């Protein structure tokens, strides 16, 4: 079955070769002629599977046709059809089961046995002996192995974290105080900076407009003043770009990139093994799925500080897991900014957002327009009048936000008809969500005209544009296309001059960007109306939230909260629901079911006394030494070897190897630890006898200290 994303609807190969066997002279044609693959997909197959070589791609496909699922735009079903029709692969081939099992879990996350079998039946995966191929079964649940590993590792890492009471505050040097004075930080923000500098791991939360980014920039600057190196990261390109702008604006000497870039993402994996900086700040952390957060944590140097900045009330990650929310629930060190700077003049929007979170209806306010219980027949005309009132040529000034792409596509056409009716049409793209007609063609197309408001829908490093940025179409120009080619000798990517072709000129945040004609459809769409996911991380003076019906219960509150808080001065809400139904929907959140990670953490684990300070902790990450001790260690461990003879670390090959190298089985000095830390997993070292003797305990922080700090924060309206 063809999917709506298969937009190879027009072109067919000009020449149809007669037989596959005679095609070795033209391997690309062979790929193109596979069932369900056309021109465009064939190119991607060659690029993704063969690294540019069609011959190599064919070898990959012949070895295992299900390798095709690695190509963007090819799922299990399309690969399966090719495997069975073109390569005679039987229904119970191991490769088929492996790909099918993985496909199911890639779509659905973690499934129990019954759910998993139901999905297998749908894909006609019948042989029960092959039900675990490519996936892992753990206590009645099926997992992708890498997903299970990420979660187990996160669990281990979280058990080793200080919890709640361990929030610490750094003292600021004169230099640092001067920085904060110059930046104009208030007391709340100063405390946040001190917390960032003092805690190895810190969650940093606050709603839109509470100045999180400001604090982060200030903290990074202060870090740099004490000779730390610092780096900002974000999941999304646009968020990284915003952070970079903020750092530039405050004159902070630190880079900000996507996580993928920082970890050296290539093809399907990360190439950076250990990160080199001292302070890492991840923005929009609520967007991180388990695997990605773990990918960062496992690469952190041991003395690094990690700050996770986010708003747990915003939209959850697309992938599996909600590690940011889990960390907060688990009680990791946490600073919350309460005071809102941005919406101080527009308290109505703030109260609206609070109302959605707290299930309370705020008093009516001038800056919040509610249009509820709108009859379906009147939705369009109401929309039109709102655009006439709040829309206009100042595209930076307003934005319509929806939940689904279908609604976005529909109302983009209406908004365009009002705002830019007479612009010259420059190109068009298919509106797949508005339905498909015969022969799988889209029913509607959108015209992009001169003067239109547009949105970037995909990052391009070549063009320097990011998914989610909005802009204005300036016109057309003709110039040579710049293409990125991999130099076959050096292996580096290089910019080369390609064919001369028309380019679409777009003004994006004040910069003129020329998008080559053949890539416009990939990068540019109408931007009057966008989905909430694309709006995340941006704000506009006037926002219209256009959502005719109910939003699914488990997402509703996050959708309305995120969408409403995008507005700085004026907010319009449009819905067909009655007043009570709307408020019920808007305040409905997913039932508070603990994530699988939280369930793991809730299970009791044996406690072990730290060899250095004696504090019992569930996990001793550093060879019997707790996190706090290791982090405060400069010269070496103060452990008397005589006290250690009764310890019995867990046996195993890694442990044996480590003993052999070191000649003993006691916890290691930091210098020794350097030698074995890469080969001995912490799990190998962690099992210690509970009755073991312990060095004199000296807690790192008394209850009094933490109470004093808590009081300081409370006094400043900061919750932690």
Partner DNA sequence: TATCCCCA
Q: Where are the alpha helices (DSSP H) in 228-315?
A: 237-249, 259-262, 290-297
CB atoms within 10 A of CB 14: 5
Complete DSSP assignment for 568-579 = EEEEEEE-SS-H
Site string for DNA, 121-150 (x = CB under 7 A): ------------------------------
Alpha carbon 641 to its chain's center: 46
Among 534, 557, 619, 666, which residue interacts with DNA (rule: CB under 7 A)? 534
Closer residue to DNA, CB minimum distance, 8 or 115: 115
> Rounded to 5 degrees, what are φ and ψ at 514?
-105, 115
Number of residues that bind DNA (CB under 7 A): 39
701 Cβ contact list (under 8 Å, min separation 6): 165, 166, 168
Per CB under 7 A, 114 contacts DNA: no
Closer residue to DNA, CB minimum distance, 319 or 682: 319
Per CB under 7 A, 462 contacts DNA: yes
Nearest-approach distance from CB 380 to DNA, in angstroms: 20
Closer residue to DNA, CB minimum distance, 506 or 718: 506
Per CB under 7 A, 495 contacts DNA: no
Nearest-approach distance from CB 354 to DNA, in angstroms: 24
Closer residue to DNA, CB minimum distance, 405 or 420: 405
Cβ atoms of residues 391 and 418 within 8 Å: yes
And the tokens for 53? 């070589």
Residue whose entry in the numeric block shows the structure tokens 């039987």: 90
Per CB under 7 A, 405 contacts DNA: yes
Q: Which stretch binds DNA (CB under 7 A): 19-27, 188-196, 375-383, 462-470?
A: 462-470
Among 40, 77, 433, 700, which residue interacts with DNA (rule: CB under 7 A)? 433
Per CB under 7 A, 538 contacts DNA: no
Interaxial angle between packed helices 145-159 and 290-297, expressed in degrees from 0 to 180 and rounded to the nearest 10 = 60
Among 153, 210, 258, 313, which residue interacts with DNA (rule: CB under 7 A)? 258
Among 227, 492, 603, 678, which residue interacts with DNA (rule: CB under 7 A)? 492
Per CB under 7 A, 406 contacts DNA: yes
Per CB under 7 A, 403 contacts DNA: yes
Per CB under 7 A, 235 contacts DNA: yes
Q: Which stretch binds DNA (CB under 7 A): 141-149, 187-195, 220-228, 547-555?
A: 547-555
Encode 386-405: b = buried (16+ Cβ within 10 Å), e = exposed.
bbeebbeeebeebbbbbbeb
Per CB under 7 A, 484 contacts DNA: yes
- Measure the CA–CA gap between 397 and 416, rounded to whole angstroms: 16
> Rounded to 5 degrees, what are φ and ψ at 665?
-120, 30
Per CB under 7 A, 236 contacts DNA: yes
> Rounded to 5 degrees, what are φ and ψ at 270?
-95, 135
Give helix then strand counts, H and E, for the chain: 27, 25
Closer residue to DNA, CB minimum distance, 176 or 459: 459
Using a 10 angstrom Cβ sphere, with 0-12 exposed, 13-18 middle and 19 or more buried, the burial of residue 415 is buried
Nearest-approach distance from CB 513 to DNA, in angstroms: 16
Q: Which stretch binds DNA (CB under 7 A): 144-152, 346-354, 397-405, 540-548?
A: 397-405
Site string for DNA, 563-602 (x = CB under 7 A): ----------------------------------------
Encode 610-639: b = buried (16+ Cβ within 10 Å), e = exposed.
bbbbbbebebbbbbbbbbbbbbeeeeebeb
Per CB under 7 A, 467 contacts DNA: yes
Per CB under 7 A, 265 contacts DNA: yes
Nearest-approach distance from CB 520 to DNA, in angstroms: 16
Per CB under 7 A, 238 contacts DNA: yes
Complete DSSP assignment for 535-583 = HTT--EEEEEEE--SPPPHHHHHHHHHHHHTTEEEEEEEE-SS-HHHHH
Nearest-approach distance from CB 488 to DNA, in angstroms: 13
**Could you tell me the CA-to-CA distances from 180 to 98, 218, 219, 326 in Å, in that order?**
56, 7, 9, 32
Closer residue to DNA, CB minimum distance, 4 or 35: 4
**Could you tell me the CA-to-CA distances from 529 to 329, 377, 403, 660 in Å, in that order?**
35, 20, 10, 65
Q: Which stretch binds DNA (CB under 7 A): 262-270, 342-350, 435-443, 566-574?
A: 262-270
Q: Which stretch binds DNA (CB under 7 A): 131-139, 424-432, 459-467, 624-632?
A: 459-467
Q: Quick one: which of 527, 521, 476, 479 has its CA closest to 499? A: 479
Per CB under 7 A, 383 contacts DNA: no
**Footprint (CB under 7 A) of DNA, residues 303-332:** 315, 318-319
And the tokens for 310? 């986010």
Among 163, 260, 342, 700, which residue interacts with DNA (rule: CB under 7 A)? 260
Q: Quick one: which of 234, 154, 162, 231 has its CA closest to 195? A: 162
Nearest-approach distance from CB 592 to DNA, in angstroms: 17
Per CB under 7 A, 674 contacts DNA: no
Per CB under 7 A, 339 contacts DNA: no
**Footprint (CB under 7 A) of DNA, residues 38-77:** 72
Q: Are strands 529-531 and 398-402 parallel, antiparallel or unpaired?
A: parallel
Closer residue to DNA, CB minimum distance, 200 or 453: 453
Q: Which stretch binds DNA (CB under 7 A): 127-135, 458-466, 606-614, 711-719?
A: 458-466
Q: Which stretch binds DNA (CB under 7 A): 358-366, 379-387, 474-482, 531-539?
A: 531-539
Per CB under 7 A, 164 contacts DNA: no
Nearest-approach distance from CB 611 to DNA, in angstroms: 41
**Could you tell me the CA-to-CA distances from 437 to 4, 78, 354, 447 in Å, in that order?**
11, 21, 44, 19
And the tokens for 563? 């969408």
Binding site for DNA (CB under 7 A): 72, 235-238, 257-258, 260-261, 264-267, 315, 318-319, 403-406, 433, 457-459, 461-462, 466-468, 484, 486, 492-493, 531, 533-534, 552, 554-555
């Amino acid at each position: 079955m063809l999917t709506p994303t298969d937009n190879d609807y027009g072109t067919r190969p000009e020449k149809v070769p007669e037989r596959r066997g005679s095609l070795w002279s033209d391997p690309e044609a062979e790929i193109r002629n596979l069932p369900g693959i056309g021109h465009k997909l064939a190119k991607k197959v060659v690029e993704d599977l063969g690294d540019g070589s069609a011959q190599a791609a064919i070898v990959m496909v012949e070895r295992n046709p299900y390798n095709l699922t690695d190509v963007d735009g090819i799922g299990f079903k399309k690969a399966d059809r090719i495997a069975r029709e073109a390569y005679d692969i039987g229904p119970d081939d191991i490769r088929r089961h492996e790909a099918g099992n993985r496909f199911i879990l890639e779509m659905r996350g973690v499934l129990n046995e019954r759910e998993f079998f139901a999905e297998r039946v749908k894909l006609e995966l019948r042989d029960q002996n092959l039900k675990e191929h490519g996936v892992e079964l753990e206590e009645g649940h099926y997992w992708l192995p890498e997903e299970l590993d990420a979660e187990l590792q996160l669990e281990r890492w979280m058990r080793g974290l200080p919890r709640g009471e361990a929030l610490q505050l750094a003292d600021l040097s004169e230099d640092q105080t001067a920085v904060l004075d110059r930046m104009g930080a208030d007391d709340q923000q100063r405390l946040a900076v001190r917390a960032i500098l003092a805690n190895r791991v810190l969650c940093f939360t606050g709603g839109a407009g509470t100045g999180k980014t400001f604090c982060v920039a200030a903290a990074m600057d202060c870090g740099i003043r004490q000779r730390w190196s610092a780096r900002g990261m974000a999941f999304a390109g646009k968020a990284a770009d915003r952070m970079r702008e903020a750092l530039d604006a405050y004159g902070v000497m630190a880079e900000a990139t996507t996580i993928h870039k920082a970890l050296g993402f290539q093809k399907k994996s990360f190439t950076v093994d250990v990160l080199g900086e001292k302070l890492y700040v991840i923005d929009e952390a609520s967007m991180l799925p388990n695997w990605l957060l773990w990918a960062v944590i496992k690469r952190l140097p041991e003395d690094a500080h990690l700050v996770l900045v986010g708003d747990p009330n915003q939209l959850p990650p697309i992938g599996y897991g909600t590690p940011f929310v889990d960390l907060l629930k688990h009680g990791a060190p946490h600073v919350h900014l309460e005071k809102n700077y941005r919406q101080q003049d527009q308290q109505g929007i703030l109260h609206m957002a609070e109302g959605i979170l707290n299930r309370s209806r705020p008093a009516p306010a001038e800056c919040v327009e509610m249009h509820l219980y709108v009859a379906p027949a009147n939705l369009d005309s109401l929309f039109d009048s709102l655009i006439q009132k709040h829309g206009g040529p100042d595209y930076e000034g307003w934005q319509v936000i929806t939940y689904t792409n279908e609604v976005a596509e529909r109302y983009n056409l209406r908004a365009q008809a009002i705002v830019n009716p007479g612009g010259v049409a420059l190109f068009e793209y298919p509106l797949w969500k508005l339905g498909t007609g015969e022969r799988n063609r889209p029913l509607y197309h959108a015209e992009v005209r001169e003067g239109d408001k547009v949105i970037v829908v995909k990052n391009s490093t070549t063009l320097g544009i990011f998914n989610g940025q909005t802009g204005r179409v300036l016109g057309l120009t003709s110039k040579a296309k710049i293409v990125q080619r991999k130099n076959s000798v050096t292996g580096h990517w290089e910019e080369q001059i390609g064919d001369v072709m028309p380019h679409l000129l777009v003004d994006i945040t004040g910069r003129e960007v020329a998008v080559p004609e053949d890539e416009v459809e990939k990068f540019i769409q109408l931007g009057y109306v966008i989905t909430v996911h694309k709006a995340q991380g941006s704000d506009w003076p006037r926002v219209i939230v256009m959502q005719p019906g109910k939003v699914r219960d488990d997402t509703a509150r996050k959708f309305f909260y995120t969408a409403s808080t995008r507005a700085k001065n004026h907010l319009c809400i449009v819905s067909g629901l009655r007043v009570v139904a709307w408020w019920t929907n808007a305040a409905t959140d997913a039932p508070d079911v603990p994530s699988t990670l939280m369930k793991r953490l809730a299970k009791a684990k044996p406690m072990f006394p730290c060899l250095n300070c004696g504090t019992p902790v569930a996990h001793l990450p550093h060879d019997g030494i707790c996190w706090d001790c290791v982090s405060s260690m400069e010269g070496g461990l103060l452990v008397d070897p005589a006290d250690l003879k009764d310890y019995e670390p867990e046996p195993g090959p890694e442990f044996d190897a480590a003993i052999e190298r070191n000649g003993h089985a006691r916890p290691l000095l930091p210098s020794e630890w350097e030698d074995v830390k890469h080969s001995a997993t912490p799990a190998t070292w962690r099992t210690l006898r509970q009755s073991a003797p312990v060095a004199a305990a000296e807690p790192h922080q008394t209850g009094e200290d933490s109470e004093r700090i808590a009081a300081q924060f409370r006094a400043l309206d900061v919750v932690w």
